[in-house]
C-alpha cells in the first residue's frame, strides 16, 4: 500500500529515498531433526546516518524458511521514539497508533521459501541513535523463534539549513490604491528543515488592515469573522486573525533544500509616509538544526506612499553659469506631508536673456531636473509649475556671465577725416556668442600715414575707444588686439583728405512722402575743380512742416546724406544743405508730405475715458475707409478751460499691424484745422490726437471704454 501522510508534493521524494532501501539480511537456516512447523525470521536495515529531521526509510524483510506454510502471519514494526511517520510501502500493511507510530502487516499465509519486503519511511527528530524494531508471529509453530525480532538504527546528525525570507514590491505608490507585495520563503539547504517555516509579516500603520492573498493559480481560503482567513495553495499556507490585526503569517511545511514558496499579499494604502513592511522568520524549535546564515531571516521593505502634489520648490534659488555652458535647476515636488511625489510632469519656462521652455517628469525622489545651455549673458528666470495644477509652482534665477573674449570689432571700419581733425575708433570685445566682455585689456596700433600706438580697457559696454589726430593726408590702418592674446583682433581703415568745398548739389530736388515716413537727402560736395571732397561737414536744415537740423561729413565720394522722419500731419518742408568751409556752398530741396493712404476695409469704433494729468478727457471715434461720413469728438476739461475737437471731414482711415490712424479736418474751439488720431487696441489701448494748430495730446492710455479695429 502507499499512504501519504502529507501533501501530494511529498510523494515525489519517495523516489529519492529508494537509495535508502538496503538489501534484506538473510540468516542461514539450521537443519533440524524435527522437520515440522514454519521457521519465520525477519531482518531490518536502514542507512547509517541521516540529517536531523530528514526522511529515512527502514526496510524489513520477512522470510519463511519452512518446511511448512505459515498461516495468519503478522509483521509489526515500530518507529524510533519521536519520529514522524512518512510513508509505508508493502502489501497488507496499515499504520498503527495515533499519531502513527508503527506499522502492522498481515498475510493469510506465507509458503515455505517465500518472503515479504516492507519499507517504512519516517522523519527522525532525535539527535543520535534512532532505532526501529520489528517482530513477526504466526499461527503456525515456529521451531526457531530467536530470529523473529530485529532492529535497525540510523544516526541522526545535526542538520544544516539556510532559511530565508524575501519581500519584493514597489518603492513608491499613491495613497488610495492597492499595493502588492510578493513574499518568498524557503530553505537553501543543504539539509531538509523538518519544521514548519513561518514568516510573520508586520502590516505598517499606513495600510488598512485589509489583507488580500494569492498563492498561485489555486488558492483556497477558509474565511472567519472579522476578516480572518486561512488560505493555502502551492507550497504555502497563510493566516490572518482579522479584527484589525496588524500581522499576517505564511508557512511552508518542512522545506527541503531548494524548497521555496511564494505568496502575493495585497494591502490598501490609506495615509502618506514611508510604509515599512517587515517579514521575520519564526525561531528554530529544535537543537537539531543549525541555521548557517541568519542574514536572510528577516527583511524590511520600505514603500514611500505619497498624496497628490501640494508643493514645488526650485533649487538652487540662484544659479550661475558661463555662456555656452549648461545650467540645471531642480524642482522638488512634495505632497502636503512633505513626501516626494514621483512621476509628476513639471513644465519649465525660461524668460530673460535665454527664453525657452521644456517639461520633465519627477524621478523616484520627486525631483525633476531641468537643464539648458544659455548663450546670452544676463539673468534668466526659470519658472516651474506642476502640469496638472499650475497653482503649484516656484522659480529660480540663472545668471549667465560672458564667456572668454573671442572677437574684437572696430568701428567705424572706415573713416575719411580732414587733416588736422581727431579720428576715434571704438573696439567692441565679445565672446563666441556675441556677449560683450567688460574689463578686457586692448592694445591699439596705427600704421600708414600717421603711425602710433595706444592701450585701453573695455568698459561695462565691452567697448574701448582710441582717438588720434592725423596731420598727414593718406591711408591709415588702425588695429585693435587683445592684450592677452594678440591673435584676436580687428582693423579699420582711415583716410585723411584735404581741400575746401566749393559746390553742393542736393537730391532729390523734389519729393512726395507720406506722413511719419523717413525722408533722406543727399548732398554731393565738390571742390572748385569738381573733385569730391570727403570729410566735409554738411549741415541740413528742415523748415516748414518740420523744423530741425542735422550735420554729417561727406564720405569718400564727397557725399553726405541726412535722413529724418517727416511730420505726422500733411504739409511741406524745404530742406537746405550748407557745406562747412570754403565758400560754404548750399542748395535746397522741396518735400511734400501727404496723409497715409486708406486701408481697404479698415473700420474703427472706439470711445471712452482717457488717463491725463491735465484734466478729464473723453473721446468717440467711428470711421471707415472710403467713407467721409465718420465721426470724431474729443473733449478735454481742465480747471481753467475746456477744449473740444469735432471732425468735419474724414479723409483717410489707415490700419497697421499695431493700430490705426484717422486723418481729416476738424474744428477745434471753432477753429478749422487738420487732425490726426492714432489708436491702439487691446490690453494697452491708447489714444493720441494731433492738430495742425500744433496741439498734441500725447499718447493717452484708455482708462475706460474700448477700441475696436477691424480690417
Residue 356's pLDDT is 97
- The architecture that CATH gives domain 407-496 is Sandwich (2.60)
Q: What is the pLDDT of residues 227-277, one digit of tens each?
A: 888 888 888 899 988 888 899 999 999 899 999 999 999 999 999 999 999
Q: What is the pLDDT of residues 579-592, one digit of tens each?
A: 999 899 999 999 99
Per the CB < 8 A criterion, the answer to whether 542 and 574 are in contact is yes
Share the mean pLDDT of the chain.
90
Write the CB contacts of 16 (distance below 8 Å, at least 6 apart in sequence).
Answer: none
Residue-wise DSSP of 9-52: GGGGHHHHGGGG-PPPP-PPP---SS--SEEEEEEEE--SEEET
pTM here is 0.52
CATH number 3.40.50.880 given to 161-306: no
Per the CB < 8 A criterion, the answer to whether 537 and 578 are in contact is no
CATH number 3.30.565.10 given to 311-401: no
Query: For residues 435 and 426, what is the distance between their CA atoms, to the nearest angstrom?
Result: 16
Q: What is the pLDDT of residues 545-556, one digit of tens each?
A: 999 999 999 998
Asked whether the predicted pLDDT for residue 33 surpasses 70, the reply is: no
Residue 529's pLDDT is 65
Q: What are the cell numbers at 389?
A: 495644477
**More confident call, 327 vs 231:** 327
Q: Which CATH superfamily is domain 8-157 in?
A: ntegrin, alpha v. Chain A, domain 4 (2.60.40.1530)
The residues facing 515 across adjacent strands are none
Residues found in the chain = 711
Residue 468's pLDDT is 96
Domain boundaries, the chain: 8-157, 161-306, 311-401, 407-496, 503-594, 603-710
Q: What is the pLDDT of residues 154-183, one digit of tens each?
A: 999 999 999 999 999 999 999 999 999 999
Q: What is the pLDDT of residues 403-432, one digit of tens each?
A: 999 999 999 999 998 777 799 999 999 999
104-130 average pLDDT score: 95
Three-state secondary structure call for residue 297 = coil
Q: What are the cell numbers at 179?
A: 499595493
**More confident call, 40 vs 15:** 40
Do 161-306 and 311-401 share a fold?
A: yes
Residue 331's pLDDT is 98
Query: For residues 419 and 471, what is the distance between their CA atoms, to the nearest angstrom?
Result: 5
Cis bond leading into 508, ω under 30°?
A: yes
Asked whether the predicted pLDDT for residue 8 surpasses 60, the reply is: no
CATH number 3.40.50.920 given to 503-594: no
Amino acid at each position: 500500500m502507499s499512504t501519504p501522510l502529507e501533501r501530494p508534493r511529498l510523494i515525489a521524494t519517495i523516489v529519492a529515498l529508494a537509495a535508502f532501501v538496503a538489501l534484506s539480511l538473510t540468516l542461514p537456516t539450521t537443519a533440524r531433526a524435527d522437520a515440522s512447523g514454519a521457521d519465520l525470521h525477519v531482518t531490518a536495515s536502514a542507512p547509517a546516518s541521516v540529517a536531523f529531521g530528514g526522511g529515512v526509510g527502514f526496510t524489513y524483510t520477512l522470510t519463511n524458511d519452512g518446511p511448512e506454510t505459515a498461516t495468519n502471519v503478522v509483521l509489526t514494526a515500530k518507529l524510533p521514539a519521536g519520529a514522524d511517520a512518512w510513508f509505508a510501502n508493502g502489501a497488507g500493511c496499515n499504520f498503527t497508533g495515533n499519531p502513527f507510530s508503527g506499522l502492522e502487516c498481515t498475510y493469510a499465509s506465507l509458503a515455505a521459501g517465500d518472503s515479504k519486503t516492507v519499507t517504512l519511511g519516517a522523519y527522525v527528530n532525535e539527535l543520535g541513535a534512532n532505532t526501529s524494531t520489528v517482530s513477526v508471529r504466526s499461527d503456525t509453530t515456529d521451531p526457531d523463534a530467536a530470529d523473529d525480532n530485529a532492529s535497525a538504527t540510523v544516526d541522526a546528525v545535526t542538520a544544516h539549513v539556510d532559511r530565508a525570507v524575501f519581500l519584493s514590491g514597489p518603492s513608491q505608490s499613491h495613497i488610495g490604491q492597492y499595493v502588492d507585495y510578493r513574499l518568498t520563503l524557503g530553505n537553501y539547504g543543504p539539509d531538509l528543515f523538518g519544521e514548519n517555516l513561518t514568516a510573520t509579516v508586520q502590516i505598517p500603520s499606513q495600510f488598512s488592515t485589509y489583507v488580500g492573498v494569492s498563492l498561485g493559480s489555486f488558492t483556497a481560503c477558509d474565511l472567519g469573522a472579522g476578516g480572518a482567513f486561512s488560505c493555502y495553495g502551492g507550497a504555502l499556507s497563510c493566516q490572518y486573525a482579522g479584527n484589525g490585526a496588524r500581522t499576517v503569517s505564511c508557512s511552508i511545511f518542512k522545506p527541503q533544500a531548494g524548497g521555496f514558496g511564494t505568496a502575493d499579499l495585497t494591502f490598501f494604502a490609506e495615509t502618506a509616509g514611508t510604509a515599512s513592511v517587515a517579514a521575520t522568520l519564526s525561531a528554530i524549535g529544535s537543537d537539531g538544526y543549525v541555521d548557517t546564515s541568519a542574514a536572510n531571516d528577516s527583511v524590511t521593505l520600505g514603500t514611500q506612499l505619497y498624496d497628490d502634489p501640494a508643493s514645488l520648490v526650485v533649487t538652487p534659488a540662484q544659479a550661475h553659469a558661463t555662456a555656452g555652458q549648461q545650467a540645471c535647476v531642480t524642482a522638488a515636488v512634495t505632497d502636503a506631508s512633505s513626501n516626494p511625489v514621483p512621476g509628476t510632469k513639471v513644465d519649465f519656462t525660461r524668460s530673460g536673456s535665454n527664453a525657452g521652455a521644456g517639461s520633465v517628469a519627477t524621478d523616484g525622489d520627486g525631483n525633476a531636473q531641468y537643464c539648458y545651455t544659455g548663450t546670452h549673458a544676463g539673468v534668466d528666470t526659470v519658472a516651474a509649475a506642476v502640469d496638472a495644477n499650475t497653482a503649484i509652482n516656484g522659480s529660480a534665477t540663472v545668471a549667465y556671465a560672458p564667456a572668454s573674449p573671442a572677437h574684437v570689432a572696430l568701428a567705424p571700419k572706415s573713416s575719411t577725416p580732414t587733416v588736422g581733425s581727431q579720428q576715434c575708433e571704438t573696439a567692441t570685445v565679445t565672446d563666441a556668442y556675441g556677449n560683450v566682455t567688460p574689463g578686457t585689456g586692448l592694445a591699439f596700433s596705427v600704421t600708414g600715414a600717421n603711425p602710433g600706438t595706444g592701450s585701453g580697457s573695455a568698459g561695462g559696454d565691452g567697448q574701448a575707444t582710441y582717438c588720434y589726430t592725423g596731420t598727414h593726408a593718406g591711408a591709415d590702418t588702425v588695429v585693435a588686439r587683445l592684450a592677452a592674446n594678440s591673435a584676436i583682433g580687428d582693423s579699420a581703415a582711415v583716410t585723411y583728405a584735404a581741400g575746401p568745398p566749393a559746390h553742393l548739389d542736393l537730391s532729390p530736388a523734389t519729393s512726395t512722402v507720406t506722413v511719419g515716413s523717413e525722408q533722406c537727402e543727399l548732398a554731393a560736395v565738390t571742390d572748385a575743380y569738381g573733385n569730391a571732397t570727403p570729410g566735409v561737414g554738411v549741415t541740413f536744415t528742415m523748415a516748414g512742416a518740420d523744423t530741425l537740423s542735422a550735420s554729417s561729413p561727406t564720405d569718400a565720394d564727397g557725399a553726405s546724406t541726412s535722413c529724418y522722419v517727416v511730420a505726422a500731419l500733411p504739409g511741406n518742408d524745404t530742406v537746405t544743405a550748407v557745406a562747412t568751409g570754403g565758400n560754404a556752398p548750399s542748395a535746397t530741396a522741396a518735400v511734400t508730405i501727404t496723409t497715409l493712404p486708406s486701408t481697404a476695409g479698415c473700420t474703427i469704433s472706439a470711445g471712452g475715458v482717457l488717463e491725463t494729468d491735465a484734466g478729464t478727457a473723453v473721446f468717440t471715434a467711428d470711421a471707415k475707409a472710403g467713407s467721409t461720413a465718420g465721426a470724431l469728438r474729443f473733449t478735454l476739461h481742465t480747471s481753467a478751460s475746456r477744449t473740444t475737437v469735432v471732425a468735419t471731414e474724414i479723409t483717410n482711415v489707415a490700419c497697421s499691424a499695431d493700430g490705426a490712424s484717422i486723418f481729416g479736418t476738424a474744428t477745434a474751439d471753432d477753429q478749422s484745422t487738420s487732425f490726426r488720431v492714432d489708436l491702439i487696441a487691446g490690453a494697452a489701448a491708447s489714444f493720441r490726437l494731433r492738430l495742425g494748430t500744433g496741439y498734441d495730446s500725447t499718447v493717452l492710455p484708455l482708462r475706460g471704454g474700448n477700441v475696436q479695429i477691424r480690417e
